[in-house]
Structure 1
Amino acid sequence: MPELPEVETVRRGLDKLTVKQTIEGGEVLLERTLAYPFSVSEFYSSIKDKAIAFWQRRGKYLLAQLVDNAQKPQGWLGVHLRMTGQLLWTKQTDTLQKHTRVRLFFPHNQELRFVDTRTFGKVWLVPPQTSPETIITGLQKLGAEPFAAEFSATYFADKLSKRRRNIKILLLDQAIVAGIGNIYADEALFRSGIHPTTIATDLTPTQITKLHQAIIEVLQTAINKGGTTFSDFLNLLGVNGNYGDSALVYGRKGEPCRICGTSIEKIKLGGRSCHFCPNCQI
Structure 2
Amino acid sequence: MALPYLAGNPLALDFLQRGLLGGALVAILCGVVGTWVVIRGMAFLGEALAHGMLPGVALATVLSAPVILGGALSAVVMSLGIGALQRRARLSYDTSIGMLFVSMLALGVIIISHSGSFASDATAILFGDILAIGSADLVLLFAAAAIGVIVTAAFHRSFVALALDARIATVLGLRPRFAQAALVGLVTLAVVASYQAVGSMLVVGLLLAPAVAASHWSTRIASRMAFASAFGVTAVLLGLLASWYLATAAGASVAAVAILLACVSYAIRAALDLISQRPPRALVPTSQ
Q: TM-score, normalised by structure 1?
A: 0.32
Higher strand fraction (1 or 2) = 1
Flag the structure with more relative contact order, 1 or 2, with Cα contacts below 8 A and sequence separation at least 6.
Answer: 2
Q: TM-score, normalised by structure 2?
A: 0.31
Higher helix fraction (1 or 2) = 2
